[in-house]
Chains A and B, each alone.
Chain A
């Protein structure tokens, strides 16, 4: 048996299916009259379906938006391609009791032989909108928190560093060697804390930065960074093997930070090697549209038992006296790669070098 509801033919199974849909489904004739609604529409808008069928669809729109809605509806009938309604706009639905709710609406057209019907799927996004607002508020708070750390923590640090330096300079004789040693430790510790604050801000900047994803030749970037490392320490002899080109789709500024951290680490941890070598390249085994990139060195390596700690902020596997650093570099790497939808991991062993892998979106050439 076929039920004919105003020119849309729906079987009883079909009706049950439409009624079970989680979105409110509203079918509208070219005249703007509602021809069919499902059960969720009744629940969402507070009407019974007999009250809606035959009414102008604008009854579901807040009064203030009705005229505009009617005009745009006519425009859609003229060019009915499936699309979200009012992309980028905040849409609002109106219930029977006059209350309103934020809505997301997708449109598609149904050809019926004589005239095109418009099917609208309406979803109440109150909950999602609230979560978005909360997220935005949390992000704003985080930004102002980071700002006040930069400002307010740095000022007392400058006093610690400055007055311990003044103590050594102006009263150094009276302090004696031991006293001067203590003052120097205070000075060094405050500078260390200043470096930590800078890195922490950098990390929070990485998670807030606006991404501009476009084709990037990682090979060319790696070569530039390698050249700079070599220039800064001309006494070192390191063999670089860099694959060029190595195209990916990524934010240039952020992936440059990834390479700077990984190549900088490789440079640092091969310092004791007579035949230091650092390699950058890509492998074809990246999953679904991704490229797997790696930076490999033959430096001091790390204890694989602690691999999980590597990417955590301020976690270090080496003593600061052996290798300087604050332990933020790899945390930034992971943060950046994950923001791009990729993954970062490491392999290595003590004395046997380390390899850092990261996946990024492939650039189709």
Chain B
């Protein structure tokens, strides 16, 4: 680990100003991914700015929905009764995230911004465009079993590894983004970028911006939402493929549908083709099967990721059956 300085802040403006003074500074909150990246010399910040003193803690409820402060720990979100009842896909996704220890430390905002688990990004001794722009991508013809089948480029096929973001997308969640200049709102769906030829730029956040909160609107499809995660071992493992679905069914017909997948995209991956196959139809076995077949349209699988095509289809189908009360 290279030397770095450490400092704390208590206001957003201060945090933004500090970051502006030291461009190689980084924010630290829960630290669960940060410490791994430091230990492996994947990153080398000049200063770590501890933002735990910012007033972004806790979960509040209104008539419209729920607001989750970005510094709220994953364990606290998972345990919240309103979240479990109104947004089951989120509770389930968090239950299947990391380990109890990590969930006690990791924050909501940090979880969204976690870095990829691509083997070559995490190994500082081999080329990686995301870590070192222009160095080359070792994953294209390397061990890419954990890599993406959607949204890749010749420069990067690293998969976005998280669970929570997939759940937030099917819940129409928004982010409050703060900086020294005020606040703006974006959809969680618009946070992450595809790599293109700048894989080191992963989100639409500007350097001095901080995620302050996640906003979840109540809805009928949110209440009927499900998460299914498939992985190499039963627990404490990254997704090979995961499916997040939220479906509103009224009088036997699908009125609203949101479907996203994890473990397959260079960013959390929404599946609009699947959603279209569901709308205005009854959600039965035949419809679930046909809709799930649309999930792999446009996929670009390598020999190492070929297995994700049938896995994704089956995961989407099963998650839809769960949403339809058929499984």
A and B: bona fide binding partners: no
